[in-house]
Amino acid sequence: MTTPTVTLNDGLVLPQIGLGTYKLTGDDGIASIVGAIHEGYRLIDTATRYNNEGEVGKAIAASGVPREEIIVTTKLRGSAHGFDETMAAFELSRQTLGLDYIDLYLIHWPNPSVNRYLDSWQAMIELKDDGLAKSIGVCNFTEEFLSKIIDATGVVPSVNQIELHPYFPQAQMRAFHAQHGIQTESWSPLGKTEELRNEKVITDLAQARGVTPAQLILRWHTQLGAIPLPKSADRGRQMSNLHSFDFDLSPEELDVISGLERGRLWGGDPNTHEEM
Ligand SMILES: NC(=O)c1ccc[n+]([C@@H]2O[C@H](COP(=O)([O-])OP(=O)(O)OC[C@H]3O[C@@H](n4cnc5c(N)ncnc54)[C@H](OP(=O)(O)O)[C@@H]3O)[C@@H](O)[C@H]2O)c1
């Protein structure tokens, strides 16, 4: 199986599904990530705040897969906003990962009360110009925050990684992204708990297709044009999540799934949520 790819606005090519690594820590975490790479994952999503950049670096080295074949994403934490702080935080992440460069470097949260995300974005532009970050983007940015950094610098983020799942389909943000050439990535794509996977709409459609509820939800993401980042510690579930491209949902079925909409699940409103 070849995973479909997406080309970002700066030319970097990403597989259309990646491995979320939140909570994959220690030796078990390393083993899980190595297993995922061996299953075929080539996009790995970590963050300084996950305290597992070291594990991700070790897993990549242990996998035997050439480093340049793996897209590594990490994220700038809120306590390091500011130009110099971003430069220092990036260097620390690079060293912890044990990598010469980072493929995709993202601002983790805008933290508008701190109001230094623009300084961080300017530092990230320099990191990209220096070739240390191949691609730069953001997470959890609203239209307002995106417009502010684009208007100030002329540099459009390659990615905005947002909470996205059938309970929170984010049609307006996705339309804004499409209009500006920003790739949507979906965090908590499975809604994190089993509640979403147990929805009758999901289980009925999955059963009719002969796929798992998780595969059905992931196909909804990819047909919307997003890149889902499901986390699984289990190799079997990692494998089945990755192999979720060989069936298609009709436009009506996509709409039925989006009809589960009820809003954010964890109250992470970027206008007010602070994460340091
Ligand atoms: N940028 C941000 O602000 C932000 C915020 C949150 C998350 N993220 C990223 O998004 C990634 C994914 O989000 P998430 O970890 O919150 O939630 P998620 O991927 O929606 O769900 C993960 C949960 O689903 C289970 N699972 C995975 N595949 C399954 C399957 N096929 N069948 C049954 N259960 C399955 C996992 O358990 P097992 O491990 O036991 O399989 C785990 O409990 C994170 O790891 C992180 O990389 C980013």
Please give the domain boundaries of the chain with CATH numbers for all domains: 15-258 (3.20.20.100)
Residue 254 in tokens: 């996509």
Compute, in angstroms, the gap from residue 33 CA to the centroid of ligand 1.
13
Q: State residue 10's pLDDT score.
A: 98
Q: Is the pLDDT of residue 95 over 80?
A: yes
Q: Whose CA is nearest to atom 46 of ligand 1?
A: 20
> Is there an atom of ligand 1 within 6 Å of 139 CB?
yes
Query: Which ranges of 98-229 would DSSP assign to H, the alpha helix?
Result: 117-129, 143-153, 171-180, 194-197, 200-209, 213-223
131 secondary structure, DSSP code: T
Pairing of the two strands 43-45 and 19-20: parallel
Q: Looking at the predicted structure, is the pLDDT value of residue 159 above 90?
A: yes
**154 Cα: distance to centroid of ligand 1 (angstroms):** 33
Return the best residue to mutate from 231, 235, 266 for the ligand 1 pocket (most ligand atoms within 8 A of CB): 231
Write down the pLDDT at residue 269.
Answer: 95
| 89 band by pLDDT with thresholds 50, 70 and 90 | very high
Beta pairing partners, 184? 160
Which residues does the annotation place in the binding site for substrate? 108
Integer angstrom CA distances of residue 131 from 27, 124, 155, 230? 31, 11, 15, 28
pLDDT confidence of residue 68: 98
pLDDT tens digit sequence for 173-194: 999 999 999 999 999 999 999 9
Residue 229 beta carbon below 6 angstroms from any ligand 1 atom: yes
Please choose, from the candidates 178, 209, 226, 236, the residue with its C-alpha nearest in 3D space to the C-alpha of residue 16: 226
Cβ(20) – ligand 1 distance below 6 Å? yes
Q: How far apart are CA 71 and CA 238, in angstroms?
A: 17
Give, in degrees to the nearest 5, the angle at Cα 177 between 173 and 183.
115
User: Tokens at residue 113, please?
Assistant: 């009360």
- Residues 125, 158: contact at Cβ < 8 Å? no
pLDDT over 90 for what percent of the chain? 99
pLDDT at 201 over 90: yes
Instruction: State if residue 227 touches ligand 1 by the CB under 6 angstroms criterion.
Output: no
pLDDT at 251 over 90: yes
- Output phi, psi for 6, to 5 deg: -130, 135
State the DSSP H helix or E strand holding residue 76, giving kind and residue range, or none if neither: strand 71-76
Provide the pLDDT for residue 149: 98
Beta bridge partners of 135: 104
Please report the atom of ligand 1 found closest to the CA of residue 215: 31
CA 140 to CA 90: how far, in whole Å? Answer: 19
Which residue's alpha carbon is at the smallest distance from atom 19 of ligand 1? Answer: 230
Res 1 pLDDT > 90: no
Residue 265 has a pLDDT of: 96
Closest C-alpha among 163, 138, 184, 173 to residue 266: 163
Cα(122)–Cα(270) distance, integer angstroms: 20
Which amino acid is it at 135?
Answer: S
Residues with catalytic annotation?
A: 50
Which atom of ligand 1 is found nearest the CA of 139?
1
Return the structure tokens found at 173.
């943000």
Residue set of the binding site = 108
Residue 109 has what pLDDT?
A: 98
Question: What CA–CA distance (Å, rounded) separates 112 from 273?
Answer: 9
CA of 110 to the centre of ligand 1 (A): 22
